[in-house]
Structure 1
Amino acid sequence: MTLIRSAIFNVLIWTWTLVCLIGILVVGPFLDAPGVRAYARRWERGIIFLLRWVVGIRHEVRGLQHLPAEPVIIASKHQSAWETLTFHTIVHELSVGLKYELTRIPVFGHYLVKSGCIRIDRGAAAKALKSLVDGAERAMAAGRHVMIFPEGTRRSPGAPPDYKPGVAALYKQLGRPCVPVALNSGAFWGRRSFAKRPGTIVIEFLEPIPAGLARAAFMRTLEERIETATARLVAEAGGSTAELASAQKLSSRA
């Protein structure tokens, strides 16, 4: 039944996405950046609806009181496509760092840029960091939070943490607090996994890390908070990180 529901969801999500792409061709030229973000949230809410009613995946948000009104860095654990498709419905005024290649996709890429996403040049490390910091400064000047996945890519539950130095450089350059975010999305919609397991994904905003810490202290605090909370949420999802990682490997082969 899980595989059947997952297959139906895949058909419906692509159908819904096509409908939204056709719609943006009609209304997009008349939308400013906030309008594009609002349109994107409608698309994302449609996906959330399909996840709930077709697959049986719901979500719960905890700790939003830890997110200040003024713009901050949001550093989130990344386990699944789920958070990339949901975050804007939770935090409306948000800019996300994206690979430059994504902005070259016809239609989709144009509106990613128009919405205020941050294009990251993935060439030399110094150039990539400069593009990230410059884009983040513009976003914060416009009153938007900046989100980054500090490990750079999706990591399955149970995989060893792999925090990249980019988040520390961004933290130092911007001089803003950083709000860590833990989640257990990978327990339900795994990395490279076709099957999606019903249940409740929990995403939790943690206590902010104040600006001004030394690099080593910041990285240690960030990893400690995210990994500790993530392990707790994964256990809450119904198993140890090792057990869930093994289950996802099996489902990805299905």
Structure 2
Amino acid sequence: MLALRSLAFNLCFYAATAVIALGCLPALVSRRTVLGVARLWGNTTIWLLRHVAGIRVEFRGLENIPPGPLLVAAKHQSALETLALCTVFPEFAYILKRELLFIPVVGWHLSRGGMVAIDRSKGNRAMSLMNAAAADAIARGRQLIIFPEGTRRPTNAPPVYKQGLSHLYAALGVPCLPTALNTGLFWPRRGFLRRPGTAVIEFLPPIPPGMARAAFQGEVLERIETASNALLDAGRAELAANGHPVPEPGSSASRTA
């Protein structure tokens, strides 16, 4: 049953993605309409998760989101938060690797939406170019979303926070919103199964600008990891109670799943 439900969701998700990406090509006329398409994609995915896969997406701490330009630092375990966060912030901009802009159709939307792309081929210049693009986005009142670890990480992986986050925090002078989650339990990276339950994305109290970089890096890591670990514990307990325990890393069950 779990495998069939997961298959149904995956088929519906990729079909919806194709329809939205192609059907909304006229939205490329402006950044604002492209962001509207992204919100449509995110809300469609959340609906499919609830009604097909049995996964309810819950946002907590919405009252902690300050108005105006903002740096959002989110844990990254799944594709789920990439789509769900689009529905929360009115003028969001993701910090992403430049190669994503070359994906047919989807890359066109990313580019037209004013995402901040990092060109790693530029070496040492990549950081200064990212700073300039990020500063422009902040000047326009946007909310910059960054995944401090740079890529999706397994739920059991130790944290590896890169220096890009603290670099931006020091350069931009805006609050940072730490964001914890447990989404990888329900929509795992590189996994087929979609386990039913409550996927939580929690916005923690913002960190005001002005902290020293090293102190900020330690503070944001501590906040996100502590809250994410608590959400993961609660999520594992829910899955076990519903008969869908998460296999331990390295077990035969995790390899076949």
- The TM-score bracket by the shorter chain reads over 0.9
Residues 15-164 of structure 1: matches in 2 within 5 Å? 15-25=15-25, 27-29=26-28, 31-164=29-162
- Contact 2:95/2:145 (<8 A) preserved: yes
TM-score (norm 1): 0.92
Q: Which amino acid aligns with 1:253?
A: T
**Cα gap change, 1:197/1:171 in structure 2, threshold over 3 Å: closer, same or farther?**
same
Partner SS, residue 162 of structure 2: coil
Q: Which amino acid aligns with 1:231?
A: N
C-alpha distance in structure 2 between counterparts of 1:248 and 1:187, whole Å: 16
* Residues 100 and 52 of structure 1, relative CA distance in 2, 3 Å threshold: same
Contact 2:17 2:41 in 1 (8 A): yes
In the TM superposition, what is the alpha-carbon distance from 1:192 to its structure 2 partner? 1.2
Tell me by how many angstroms 1:21 deviates: 2.4
C-alpha deviation, 1:124, in angstroms: 4.2
Contact 2:34 2:109 in 1 (8 A): yes
Cα deviation per residue 1:14-40 (whole Å; 9 max; x = unaligned)? 111121122123x235x3111111022
Q: Which whole-Å CA distance do the structure 2 matches of 1:134 and 1:208 have between them?
A: 23
Q: Do residues 11 (structure 1) and 43 (structure 2) align?
A: no
SS at match of 1:134: helix
Q: Which residue of 1 aligns with 2:214?
A: 216
After superposition, the Cα gap between the structure-2 partners of 1:59 and 1:252, relative to the gap in structure 1 and judged at 3 Å, is farther
- Write the distance in 1 (CA, Å) between the matches of 2:185 and 2:121: 33
Distance, in Å, in 1 between the alignment partners of 2:189 and 2:250 is 8
The range that moved more, 16-25 or 124-133, is 124-133
Do the aligned residues in 1 keep the contact of 2:93 with 2:114 (CA within 8 Å)? yes
Distance, in Å, in 2 between the alignment partners of 1:170 and 1:111 is 24
Equivalent AA in structure 1 for residue 131 of structure 2:
V
Find the aligned partners of 2:234 and 2:127 in 1 and give their Cα distance.
36
Q: Distance in 1 between matches of 2:35 and 2:68?
A: 19
Q: State percent identity of aligned pairs.
A: 46
How big is each residue's C-alpha offset from its partner over 1:198-253, in whole Å with a ceiling of 9 and x where there is no partner?
Answer: 0111111111112111121111101100010001111111349xx84626973463
Out of 232, 248, 252, the residue aligned to residue 246 of structure 1 is 248
Q: Which has the larger displacement, 34-43 or 16-25? A: 16-25
Unaligned residue ranges in structure 1 (runs of 5+): none
Deviations 1:165-200, CA, capped at 9 Å, x for gaps? 111111111122211000010111112111110011
TM-score, normalisation: structure 2: 0.91
State the SS of the aligned residue for 1:123.
Answer: helix
2:181–2:202 Cα contact (<8 Å) kept: yes
Alpha-carbon distance, 1:41 to partner = 1.2
Does the CA contact (< 8 Å) of 1:193 and 1:248 recur in 2?
no
Question: Residue 247 of structure 2 contacts residue 254 of structure 2 at CA under 8 Å; is this kept in 1?
Answer: no
Aligned-partner Cα distance in 2 for 1:56–1:244: 16
- Of the structure 1 ranges 91-100 and 117-126, higher mean CA displacement relative to structure 2 is found in 117-126
Residue 128 of structure 1 deviates from its aligned partner by: 2.1
SS in structure 2 of the partner of residue 159 of structure 1: coil
| Superposition RMSD in Å | 1.9
Matched letter for residue 248 of structure 2: S
What's the offset of the Cα at 1:141? Answer: 1.1
The aligned counterpart of 2:190 is: 192
